[in-house]
Amino acid sequence: MKHLALITLTLLTAFASVGYAHADSNEIRIAFIAYQNPEQVIEDVKPVIAYLEKETGMKVKYNVATNYTGIVEALRNKTADMGFMGPLQYVMAHHYAGATPILGEVYQGKPEYVSRIFVRKDSGIKTIQDLKAKSIAFTDPISSSGYLYPLELFRSSGLVKKDASEFFKRTYFAGGDEQAIRAVLNGFVDAAGIGQFAYNLLRPEERSEIITIADSAPLPSHCVVLREGFSPSMAKKLKKALLALNEGPNKHLLQNLYGVDGYVPVTNETYAGVEKVARSHGLLR
Amino acid sequence: MAIHRHKSHFLSCICLLLLSTAGFAHIVPPEEFHPMAESYRRLAFMVNLNPVLWDEVKKDTDAIAHELGHINSEMALSYSASVDHVFMEVEAEIQVSLATPAMRKKASRALFAHSTHAISTAIDELLNLAKIDIDEPEKSGGYLATARKIWSAYEHELKYSDPSAYFNLGQAWLDASSALGSPGLFGAGTIPTDIERFNTALTTIQEFNTVHFGETFSPAEKGWMYPLPFNSPTFDGLADIPTKLPPGSNMNKQLPRPRQILGMVERGVDESETPLIALGDLAFDSSYIFGEPARSLLISCNTCHNKGTTNPKFFIPGLSTHSGGLDVSSSFFKPAANNGHFDPLDSPDLRGIRFTAPYGRNARFASLREFVRNVIVNEFNGPEPDPMLMDGIIAYMNEFDFLPNSSLNRDGTLNENASAAAMAGEEIFNKTFETMNNKSCASCHIPNNHFLDRQSHDIGTVGGTTPYSLDRALDTPTLLSVKNTPPYMHDGRFATLTEVVEWFNVEYSLELKKKEQEELVAYLNTIGDGEESFEDTMYTLEAEMEEFSFFLSSYELALEAGKLDMAGAIFQTITTEIHAHKWDVQDQKYIPVLNEMADLMDSAYMAILGNDVDTANEHVATYREMYAANAENLK
């Protein structure tokens, strides 16, 4: 497993090279998330770092984590000042570690999206009621779009009171949106409850085989989060610099920031709905 | 932790979404494979070809060995030794003569079997490690995720040949992933690992993998070699396995699209009144005029000659040496028409085709009709084309015009719009060289004859069969549009015109100085340019929908001629094309409209199959109404 070892080493090198644990008053440390290829993210964010340094006048250091736990933990133990994460991770980071959100991401013109229940077009399944005693794939238990919000559809309809196993024959956590929607496409499961954009992970010729039978309530998109106690004046500079990417000569840098359309200001209130759902699932004790 | 490793939420979707649906017309991102699976799938394709490009195959066996080395170095060494032995045997035989069919088959089968075993070994080893490290779910999940990716090496074939096993194993992978549980966050949402469920799922996969693809795996004796579970009780030996091109293939077309000039359109002719040309346009874009496997792969004339020009991206491993070219006389598209040797050709620009006879890089056909018929029947395995369809294709191609060039006089000389460098280059182009038998570039690329002489010459780019063989001549190509149609030479060996000029300079001892070479390149770029060489938009659906409407104008022509089969092919082509292009729509809420229009064409096809022309007419009328009502949104 040298390959895996190599990636780990690269990440550790990134941590080390930025002198991660030692912040000074004119320094910000950002934790980026990498889903597939950490080396690529490291390359992608370099021009963003240069831009932020120029705009804020602060020294910017960064690391790249391959999961949200790393980012949330870094905010909690104050080895990172700012991180990119999903709404549920934020809500939990706020509850347990006092984190605050500054910006929400805009995609396809909206700062929110929905979760959907996808089934095969030829399955004969038309409503969520039809899924009784069938199988479903989610992505991950700690995911708003890939678990909590789609499950809410069944809870609010009275089909599930507490646990998904009451209604479904089998429940899977496929590990990712693509794995989940492909599990439906290939007939391994009857349905998938995942974020709306998972559909676009299918190849064009595959999409016609999949339909949506239900949409969840909208949930705010992913966000940029600051650790507890981070300097308000520095936060203001960062927020301004990132918002300035929405228009103007540096707009192209958004491509390096996960390809979003832009950012909108958010507050903890933006995530009230997610917080309510998380609480009902016992995730906020 | 394991589940977190490979989660992909909103953001990861975004990254992929950009690749797949940003409205940038019809660009399909390549299917992603683990490097080991990628090499295996490419190798599995290439060892089925005749001839086999052993050096290319070796690159993939090396890559498999390299990847296997990360997992188990001992097994990697064993694999390398096995395949190297095969390559040595092949090399020994080739030094004596060409590899015999029996030798080629034996070596291909051995490489295929060893490589399949290597894949199964990697999967098995990774799953063993996942079991061993189950106390560390994140680590274990990493092994599981890698094994799952490598499993895609033979998943496609399993899906079609043994659906029952494919389903059970698909569930086993899901079971394994789910059984890892979740570490939660801040101590909340924790799900403990279900070790028994995990081990059971992995054992199910390992047993199948080892029994069917392990050391005893042996590919079929006859026909195309696939990784198939021959001894599985649910294996269907008669299953139809859809052809897939290997990783590294690219059928996407260039964007922005090259500008196509159709003579009758330039003259302002109403396209609805040129149904034969419309039929030809449709046929040019239709995979239905070809046979399998081109048809299922949606390959049409337009795939390699995008908008009647070239497609510099087109590539199929084992059949192409350079992007933009293909061995059209290979064993893949029509085995019976294989000429037995690897001779890929660069796809030529078809602009001005009516002025460029004879046809084929080696001038093998005097008439365009003969040439096109050969492409359809012998290169891409199509049925004998209907004479009216052939008339249509030729009528359409005869409308292909060169791009206007404001730097050129009508006699092919440069005018005052050309740069000084280009003017200097023009003199060199017309200058005779003793080392070129007292000829100039212009002797063959005659400026007042569209820069060609309609003859063939041996200029030294073709290796003959024997030292004194007279089989090296190639047709003189036009230099018009040459600026935007790389790569160059008959086999696409040069990516730039600078390289072309350098080659002539060396090959013919022209002794051109650096500056003179640059001037010659400036000249070529000037005569080979054209006004508005590319379309000014990246969004192509609107133009495609207009073209489908044009296609449909040939329906009545087919009806009048009593050719219901042709009418059916018109409907099938439009249905396929709408589905292929619908994801390019900028506002996806119109996908249902496009689906409905495709369904109308499909219904018309079904009606024609039942000889029900009236119903087909109704569907056609409804389609036309829908298009009129929605045209402005379908872009």
Examine the domain organization and report whether B278 and B138 are in the same domain: no
The residue among A57, A49, A54, A61 whose CA lies nearest residue A23 is A61
Examine the domain organization and report whether B447 and B567 are in the same domain: no
B341 at the A interface (CB within 8 A)?
no
pLDDT over threshold 50, residue B619: yes
Structure-token match 């039809």, residue found: A130
Query: For chain B, what is the domain count?
Result: 4
Question: Is B16 in Cβ contact with A201 (below 8 Å)?
Answer: yes
Percentage of chain B beyond pLDDT 70 is 95
Return the residue of B nearest to A85 by Cα. Answer: B11
Q: How far is residue B114's CA from residue B77's CA, in Å, rounded to a whole number?
A: 12
Amino acid A68: pLDDT: 85
Examine the domain organization and report whether B125 and B154 are in the same domain: yes
Residues of B in contact with A92 (CB under 8 A): 185-186, 188
Examine the domain organization and report whether B314 and B343 are in the same domain: yes
Residues of B in contact with A1 (CB under 8 A): 70-71, 129, 142-143
B371 at the A interface (CB within 8 A)?
no
A197 at the B interface (CB within 8 A)?
yes
Query: What pLDDT digit, counting tens, does each position of B313-367 carry?
Result: 999 999 999 999 999 999 999 999 999 999 999 999 999 999 999 999 989 999 9
The residue among B97, B96, B64, B69 whose CA lies nearest residue B83 is B64
Facing residue for A145 by CB, picked from B2, B10, B70: B10
Q: Is residue A285 part of a domain?
A: no
Beta-bridge partners for A224: A84, A103
Q: Is residue A180 part of a domain?
A: yes
Residue pair A118/A198 in contact by the 8 Å Cβ criterion: yes
Q: What is the overall mean pLDDT for chain B? A: 92
First to last CA, chain A: 39
Examine the domain organization and report whether B562 and B618 are in the same domain: yes
- In A61-120, the residues whose Cβ lies within 8 Å of chain B are 66-69, 72, 84, 86, 89, 92, 95-97, 105, 107, 113
Question: Is B70 in Cβ contact with A3 (below 8 Å)?
Answer: yes
Beta-bridge partners for A61: A29
Examine the domain organization and report whether B34 and B105 are in the same domain: yes
Query: For chain A, what is the domain count?
Result: 2
Q: How far is residue A35's CA from residue A278's CA, in Å, rounded to a whole number?
A: 23
Question: Looking at beta carbons, which pairs linking B595-603 to residues 24 or more positions away fall under 8 Å?
Answer: B595/A208, B596/B626, B597/B623, B597/B626, B597/B627, B598/B574, B600/B626, B601/B571, B601/B572, B601/B574, B601/B575, B602/B571, B602/B572, B602/B575
Domain that holds residue B261: 256-399
Question: Is A172 in Cβ contact with B595 (below 8 Å)?
Answer: no
Facing residue for A146 by CB, picked from B9, B20, B71: B9
Residues of A in contact with B20 (CB under 8 A): 200-201, 203-204
Examine the domain organization and report whether A62 and A74 are in the same domain: yes
Examine the domain organization and report whether A196 and A275 are in the same domain: no
State the burial class of residue A229 (Cβ atoms within 10 Å of its Cβ: 0-12, 13-18, 19+): exposed
Examine the domain organization and report whether A97 and A29 are in the same domain: yes
Q: How far is residue B486's CA from residue B314's CA, in Å, rounded to a whole number?
A: 12
Residue pair B186/A92 in contact by the 8 Å Cβ criterion: yes
Facing residue for A33 by CB, picked from B2, B11, B146: B11
pLDDT over threshold 50, residue B239: yes
Average pLDDT for B249-266: 92
Examine the domain organization and report whether B265 and B334 are in the same domain: yes
Q: How far is residue B517's CA from residue B501's CA, in Å, rounded to a whole number?
A: 6
Examine the domain organization and report whether B25 and B154 are in the same domain: yes
Beta-bridge partners for B320: B317
pLDDT over threshold 70, residue A256: yes
Residue pair B423/B527 in contact by the 8 Å Cβ criterion: no
Query: What pLDDT digit, counting tens, does each position of B526-568 carry?
Result: 999 999 999 887 788 999 999 999 999 999 999 999 999 999 9
Whether this model's ipTM surpasses 0.90 comes out as no
Examine the domain organization and report whether A100 and A165 are in the same domain: no
Percentage of chain B beyond pLDDT 90 is 86
Examine the domain organization and report whether A203 and A251 are in the same domain: no
Residues of A in contact with B173 (CB under 8 A): 188
Amino acid B608: pLDDT: 97
- In A26-65, the residues whose Cβ lies within 8 Å of chain B are 33, 35-36
Structure tokens at B211: 């029994």
B178 at the A interface (CB within 8 A)?
yes
Q: How far is residue B289's CA from residue B326's CA, in Å, rounded to a whole number?
A: 19
Beta-bridge partners for B580: none
Examine the domain organization and report whether B140 and B19 are in the same domain: yes
Residues of B in contact with A146 (CB under 8 A): 7, 9
CATH code: domain of residue A188: 3.40.190.10
What does B331-387 look like in DSSP terms, one character per residue? Answer: TTT-GGG--SS---EEPPP-TTGGGS-SBSTT--BSSHHHHHHHIIIIIS-PPPPPH
Peptide bond into B51 cis (omega under 30): yes
Examine the domain organization and report whether A105 and A161 are in the same domain: no
Beta-bridge partners for A195: A115
Q: How far is residue A205's CA from residue A202's CA, in Å, rounded to a whole number?
A: 8
Question: Is B70 in Cβ contact with A92 (below 8 Å)?
Answer: no
Query: What pLDDT digit, counting tens, does each position of B182-233 carry?
Result: 988 988 889 999 999 999 999 999 999 999 999 999 999 989 999 999 999 9
Examine the domain organization and report whether A153 and A89 are in the same domain: no
Residues of B in contact with A121 (CB under 8 A): none
Residues of B in contact with A107 (CB under 8 A): 10, 14
Domain that holds residue A103: 2-110+221-280
Query: What pLDDT digit, counting tens, does each position of B83-130 carry?
Result: 999 999 998 887 766 678 889 999 999 999 999 999 999 999 999 999
Examine the domain organization and report whether B497 and B606 are in the same domain: no
Please state the length of chain B: 635
Q: Is residue B559 part of a domain?
A: yes
Q: Is residue B232 part of a domain?
A: no
B381 φ/ψ angles, rounded to the nearest 5 degrees: 65, 25
